[in-house]
Amino acid sequence: TSAQIGVTGLAVMGRNLARNFARNGYTVAVHNRTSARTHALVEEFGSEGEFIAAETAKDFVAALERPRRLVIMVKAGEPTDAVIQEFAPLLEPGDMIIDGGNAHFADTRRRERDLREQGIHFVGMGVSGGEEGALHGPSIMPGGPKESYDSLGPMLEKISAKAADGAPCVTHVGPDGAGHFVKMVHNGIEYADMQLIGEAYQLLRDVAGYEPAQIAEIFRTWNTGRLDSYLIEITAEVLSHVDAATGKPFVDVVVDQAEQKGTGRWTVQIALDLGVPVSGIAEAVFARSLSGHAALRDASRGLAGPKASPLSEAEAAAFADRVEQALYASKIVSYTQGFHEIDAARAEYDWDIDLGAVSAIWRGGCIIRAAFLDRIRAAYDARADLPSLLSDETFAQEIADAQDDWREVIIAATRQGVPTPGFAAALAYYDALRAERLPAALTQGQRDFFGAHTYRRTDRDGAFHTLWGGDRSEVSA
């Protein structure tokens, strides 16, 4: 017998992905650098389906039916290159290497190019949803050559998460690094979503005066509306959890320093390279770094803040409704920014990416799964060349309805000294985009003054320079 798919790299992700394939009826060849993991998998889970345990790379490749489909699930970076170098010489034209790790999309582009010369199809595949997703159905974002999807796609559709309407949460995202790029932006958006939820929580606590258990109830209510999402749901769970050792709310005994694995940071770094303003995602990444600066925070605790004025019970309830509006409006903005980044990459790398399809495959199996994503899909379905999500009539109307509350929430936060970088950055982005005139005109004037960088005029074509050091007459540049 031969295997329809092989998985090498059997830590939590690879093991669960291999089990997922096997549970769906595929024969799976399994391999790991340290073969103890391979045997442990077959021993523990062999009854779940058909596995072929391979000790060596050669045995592993020999176990695969042609064209071979070989999934790599190892540590991203150099280990992935090492594994590719080990297997590529054993493969033949038409075979497929599928990298399911969290690769940087630029590495995926390089690997795809190198392997293409050898006739090997390299598929950089974003896999979301952590180990639970890998086992029960992740959201899958494969890139690479389109023809690879013909044979790989049906298998991925089988093992992927399914959205509420039954659609598999996988699609061929685009060529070479497009899949890993979209996975990266997904993580950036996840950072932003979590930051916005965090700000909502702190406002409800410090401005409205609610306790964590009460805030959990508020989130539960929100979760029945337009904010219905996995992250809101687990937020309520975390907030209602009580620490067994102390009897205090769990959230009060956890050290308030957030960690990160790096994909959010990549999203911002690459956005800077592409010139795309992803301020909401950037603020989320910065908020995590700020939280980790323990010494700096200690040194700053004595700095002056405003005098707090607590809200009455009725005011607090009204305020909570406003926070829901602010959260929703800010969420629209952060998704707008994330999709702008994907759109910019599409232009930069000549990728054919269907933005509506991307939002559709995030509806299940991943951390940002939410009812909201159906709305984004509808927006792009209605108009594929939508310049921005904010140009969609429904979203524009929702923000129009939310904006007074959104502004009030940020005013209240500012007055009470509660930091809301996510809400505020989102609003600033919104106001900047809709502004008739921006102070960028003044920036251009300053640049021309100190560096003769020239400027364009609103009334005539061409580039101009004012003789600032002379008679201040204008010359064509």
Interacting residues with ligand NDP (CB under 6 A)? 9-14, 32-34, 37, 73-76, 79, 82-83, 101-102, 127, 130-131
Q: How far is the CB of 34 from ligand NDP (least distance, A)?
A: 3
Residues 6+ apart with CB under 8 A from 195: 280, 283, 284, 287, 288, 421, 422
Instruction: Region of 94 please: left (phi>0), alpha (psi -120 to 50) or beta.
Output: left
- The nearer residue to ligand NDP, 106 or 378, going by C-beta atoms, is 106
Alpha helices in 350-439 (DSSP H): 355-361, 372-382, 393-416, 421-434
Catalytic, 190? Answer yes
Nearest-Å Rg of the Cα atoms of the chain is 26
Q: How far is the CB of 389 from ligand NDP (least distance, A)?
A: 26
CB of 129 to ligand NDP, least distance (A): 7
Query: How far, rounded to the nearest angstrom, does the alpha carbon of residue 87 sit from its chain's CA centroid?
Result: 30
3-state secondary structure of 121: strand
DSSP 68: P
Using the 8-state DSSP alphabet, how is residue 48 labeled? G
**Closer of 73 and 345 to ligand NDP (Cβ):** 73
Residue closest to ligand NDP (Cβ): 101
Which C-beta is closer to ligand NDP: that of 83 or that of 204? 83
Q: Which residues contact 367 (CB under 8 A, 6 or more apart)?
A: 128, 129, 130, 190, 230, 231
Catalytic residue among 190, 283, 324, 341: 190
Q: Which is nearer to ligand NDP, 32 or 240 (CB)?
A: 32
Given the residues 183, 283, 324, 331, the one annotated as active site: 183
Q: What's the rounded Cα separation, in Å, for the pair 426 and 191?
A: 14
Minimal distance, residue 226 CB to ligand NDP, in Å: 28
Rounded Cα gap, residues 135 and 47, in angstroms: 15
43 in catalytic set: no
Q: Residue 127 CB, nearest distance to ligand NDP (Å)? A: 5
Nearest to 104 by CA among 312, 262, 226: 262
Nearer to ligand NDP, 11 or 308 (CB): 11
User: At its nearest, how many Å lie between ligand NDP and the CB of residue 254?
Assistant: 20
- Considering beta carbons, is residue 102 or 195 the nearer one to ligand NDP? 102
**CA–CA distance, 99 with 81 (Å, rounded to integer):** 10
Rounded CA separation 142/215 (Å) = 38
Which of the residues are catalytic?
183, 190
